[in-house]
Amino acid sequence: MARGLRLLSRAVVRLRPLPVQGPTRGFSASAQEPLHVCVVGSGPAGFYTADRMLKGHEGAQVDIIDRLPTPFGLVRSGVAPDHPETKIVVNQFSRVAANGRCSFFGNVTLGRDVSLSGLREIYHAVVLAYGAESDRSLGIPGEDLKGIHSAREFVWWYNGHPDMCHLSPDLKNTQSAVVLGQGNVALDVARILLRCKTELATTDIADYALDALCGSTIRKVYLVGRRGPVQAACTAKELREILGLKNVRVCIKEADLATSPADEEEMRSSRIQRRVYELLSKAASAHRDNSCNDQKELHFVFFRRPTRFTPSENSSTVGAVELEKTALKVDEVTRKQVAVGTGEFEDLKCGLVLKSIGYKSLPVQGLPFDKIRGVVPNLRGRVMSSESETATVETGLYVVGWLKRGPTGIVATNLHCAEETVASILEDDRKGVLRAPSDSKKHGRTGLVEILEQKNVHFVPFSGWEKIDSKEKMAGQLRNKPREKITTWDGLQKAANE
């Protein structure tokens, strides 16, 4: 209790709003209290929302809560360790957290430590930005066999996420891995499996993951896609990187590169698709006669969809993926080319399968949710009661990021998404929607701390994260790494309280 009160006391002193001398941007002199905003989730969508909220409303006080003791979401646990340039954005987010009107509450889980209804009672606006922390399922036989993981689980494992530090994928008893999907995440996990381990050793990859990868026997990685090279869902930048890996031979069947008039039309309409196809075609030609016994292999497998997983002999571990050959057909409604089965099947032997078929958001109690699309129904970020024509706006409740639009885009995509949601919040506040005269006073941060104290929740403030950050960087210096991540819940909480 005393710890929380001391933290609250410091927060109140540090964040007490200055007296208003006259009308200011987004904050009228007649306002009785600050605009209390709570952002649930501290990934890019959450921090961009906080940043735009603080800049757009001089009377806003923003609290960011996250279930992890560490901030930054997928920038820490999703961005590949060999992409340090993408992680530079945390410097901007740290400046947001240092703003006197912003506060971070780590180790706080929505639905367990505080309810959505509880947050709505104490904040004028609640913005849900907790992203997608589950996975889509293929729904085919054998999906529960050992050796089959989602790409999200594998990514969290090598990035040191505390939920996945004990995953221990078996990389020693097979020479072949199958990655289902050909998007950027699929390319990430394939690249980590194939990249030279001395190069990974100087990244912030989790130490246990580096040890496991150094002992890996995997020599072949198959990237399997339902459609063709024209429809590959990756970006040119990611594709160019994996095609340029040292000591890796790229294998693409020449027949798969044949294009139809519909393919040509798609490439005329999309510069990205055309560039991806050109890179794949060039790689196929460059590697055709360039083989070496000690090379690893990256196989692009097009026009195949998984239909079942089969176990290895006398084992509960996956031994092969049954694939059905597909063909492309133009959908009469969308006019897009879709993959349809041909009835021809083949087995692809492997001992590890990583499913990169999409992340999935999860609902919380009291939140309208479209289970089919995996998003919260919304109108420019305002949460709607449903998708129907008679749906009403959930006053004071907003959504941003993957929970708003689905698991698509890159880190920067969240900036525009956040700007749209914040514009809706500011518009609603100007119209008086968020501060109706009949409403009782909102307590914001003070009310949140009281709730957490009552439930004996030991939240981690941003200063606690800074202790974790400092300890990780110091440990990393000893091994010529940017940081040595603390990968367990207990370890993170201990470091935050030192």
Binding residues for FAD: 45, 74, 110, 402
DSSP secondary structure letter of residue 19: P
Residues at the binding site for NADP(+) are 182-185, 226-227, 238, 409
Give bridge partners of residue 277 from the DSSP assignment. none
Nearest partner of 130 among 460, 377, 407, judged by Cα: 407
DSSP secondary structure letter of residue 51: H
Phi, then psi, of 285 in degrees rounded to 5 = -70, -40
E strands of 121-175, at which residues?
125-128, 134-135, 148-150
Half-sphere exposure of 90 toward its Cβ, with a 13 Å CA cutoff?
19
Whole-Å CA distances, 210 to 158, 171, 293:
8, 11, 24
Residues at the binding site are 45, 74, 110, 182-185, 226-227, 238, 402, 409
E strands of 172-230, at which residues?
176-180, 220-224
d(CA 40, CA 432) in angstroms, rounded, equals 23
Check: CB of residue 7 under 8 Å from CB of residue 463: no
d(CA 391, CA 271) in angstroms, rounded, equals 38
Nearest partner of 61 among 81, 82, 31, judged by Cα: 31
DSSP reduced 3-state for 322 = strand
Angle at 227 between CA 222 and CA 228, to 5 degrees: 80
Joined tokens for residue 261: 């008039």
